[in-house]
Each structure stands twice: as C-alpha cells, then as structure tokens.
Chain A
Amino acid sequence: MSEFLAMGGYAIYVWSSYAIAVVVLGLNAILPVRTERREIAELQRAINARTKHDTPS
C-alpha cells in the first residue's frame, strides 16, 4: 500500500495531478447543477409572483 502511495518516488507529482483533476472536474460537475436548480427556483418565483398579481384576491 505504501509502495502504491509512493509512486516510485514521484508521489507528489502524481497525486497532485490527480487531485487537481478531481477539483477541476468536480467543480464542473457540481456548480452547473446548482446553477440549474437556482434558475428553476427563480423562474418558479417569477411565475408565482405573476400568478398572484393576475389573480384577484
């Protein structure tokens, strides 16, 4: 196991590369999903506001 982590002496190079990839790809996977949800929520709010306004109370 420790041999695996050591990567033949190149541990810091290999693991930092993979770590950076996880961060970059992870952000690209997560952030747009959050934006999509926020956008839908905003549109929902806009529609509810308009419906309230249009319907006489």
Chain B
Amino acid sequence: MFDFLNKYASLMHFYRLSRRLSQWLAPLTAVLMCAGVVGGLWFAPTDYQQGDSFRIIYIHVPSAWMSLFVYMSMAGAAVSILVWRVKVAEIALRCSAPLGASFTFLALVTGSIWGKPMWGTWWVWDARLTSELILLFLYLGIMALQNAIEDRRVAARAAAVLTLIGVVNIPIIHYSVEWWSTLHQGPTVSKFDRPSIHLHMLIPLLLMSVGFTTFYISALMVRMRTEILRYDRKTNWVREIVTTHHGSPSSV
C-alpha cells in the first residue's frame, strides 16, 4: 500500500496517471452533467411548494457539497504537506483552491438567486450563509497567501497551515442549520435518514453531484499537470514529455 502511495507521490508517475485518468474522466463528466441537467430541468416534476424555482437545486446543492468536499481534500493534502512534505500534495492544494472558491461562489450566488423569490430576500446573515461566505474568504485567502510567497514550497506550507486553521469552519457550515435557528432549512439528504426529496427529483441531483465531483477531479488534473511541469521543468522526464509533445495535450 505504501509502495503504491510512494510511487504516485513521485511527480512523474502522478503526471502519467493523471493523463490516463483525464482521458475517460472528462467525457464521463460531460455525460453525467448533461444527464443531470436534462433530468433536472425536464424530467423532474414541479415542486408542490416552490414550483419550478426549485430546479436551481441542481446547481446550488452540488456546488455547496463540492465547496465542502474540496476543502476537506485540501485539508488532507495540508496534513501530508506538513507531516511528510509530499510535493504532490503541495500541488494538489495549490490547484484545488481556485476550484473550491468557484464552487463556493456558485453556491452563494445561486442560493441568493433562489432565495429572492422563495424567502423574499437576496441575503440574510444567518449561520449557514455567513459561514459559507467565510469559506469563500478562506479559499481566497489561501490563494492570496500562496501568491504572496515566492518560494513555492514555503508558500505551500503556509497555505497548509491556513487550510487547517480554517477547517473548523466545515462542521460549522454543515451543522449550522441544526445548532442554531436559521432561515436556511435543514438537510434534505443526510447520511442516516431517508432523503426528504421525491425519487424523480433526487436522481438528477445525484447525477449532478457525481458529475460535479468528476468535474473537480478533471479540472484539478489539468491544473496539476501544468504545475508539475513547472516544479520539475529541469528534469529529464519533463524534457522528454515536452519535446515529444506535439499538437494539443492528449486530453483535457
């Protein structure tokens, strides 16, 4: 097991793995998202209470889930960076941050747009919305911090520390609707209860959630490959990749 991990901790092996992964992950993402959107906009029935406005859920909820998932992935990378100084983890953390910020932004904006007709307001400072906004600032802060530090490896360690300090926000976001009285409603899909959403409405939601996850991994792979080339640009394996490379990269 550790041999396996050790192998892919090497930038060269990870680069090769990511190329192979991207080849099928990108088309899979496209299929899942198309299926999810068609299912959500067309096949899912209208909601008894919210009418067709509830269809924003197919963007809002996967975005929100990803905003948390990406951060937890970054937290995992952060531990690897600080304890074992794994280079791949440094690159994964650096490249994940803009993606996490994008998902958080999407969750906040679509949530706001959804809130206006349903709640009657674009924004409230309740615990759920406020903590998600703080998450956006965390992501931006992590990106800014790395930008500000010249040395990539020092920047990675600083970003890792900031990531771990902010990780306390994640359970706050998740449990905010249970711990405090909030305008945002409680969870529809949770680990232990049956989902309180009709099956035909649930299926596109699950498709979009998986699709958003594969999107994250695909987009992350592209960014990481670029960064790996920068990290290892003086090595022979990179020279070989670059010189034998022609036309467009093998895949997204």
Docked-complex contact B229 and A13, CB < 8 angstroms: no
Q: Which of B105, B114, B242, B252 contacts A29 (CB 8 A)?
A: B252
Q: Closest approach, in angstroms, between the C-beta of A19 and any C-beta of chain B?
A: 10
Taking CB atoms, residues of chain A closer than 8 Å to B109 are: 17, 20
Interface size on A, residues (CB 8 A): 27
Q: Closest residue to B30 on the A side, CB-wise?
A: A29
Q: Closest approach, in angstroms, between the C-beta of B246 and any C-beta of chain A?
A: 10
Q: Mark B224-245, 1 if CB is under 8 A from A, else 0.
A: 0110011001000011001101
Q: Which of A21, A39, A44, A46 contacts B59 (CB 8 A)?
A: A21
A-B pairs with CB below 8 Å: how many? 95
Docked-complex contact B242 and A33, CB < 8 angstroms: no
Q: Closest residue to B243 on the A side, CB-wise?
A: A47
Q: Which of B113, B225, B239, B242 contacts A17 (CB 8 A)?
A: B113
In Å, the complex CA distance between A36 and B105 comes to 24
Interface size on B, residues (CB 8 A): 41
> Which of B46-54, B130-138, B144-152, B168-176 contacts its partner?
B46-54
Q: Mark B19-62, 1 if CB is under 8 A from A, else 0.
A: 00000000000000000010001100010000111011001100
In Å, the complex CA distance between A40 and B37 comes to 35
Taking CB atoms, residues of chain B closer than 8 Å to A47 are: 239, 242-243
CB under 8 Å from chain A, chain B span 189-242: 215, 218-219, 222-223, 225-226, 229-230, 233, 238-239, 242
Besides A7-B52, A14-B52, A33-B252, 9 more A-B contacts (Cβ < 8 Å) are: A13-B56, A17-B110, A21-B63, A24-B106, A29-B219, A33-B222, A40-B245, A43-B233, A44-B242
On A, residues with C-beta under 8 Å from B are 4, 7-10, 13-14, 16-18, 20-21, 24-25, 28-29, 32-33, 35-37, 39-40, 43-44, 46-47
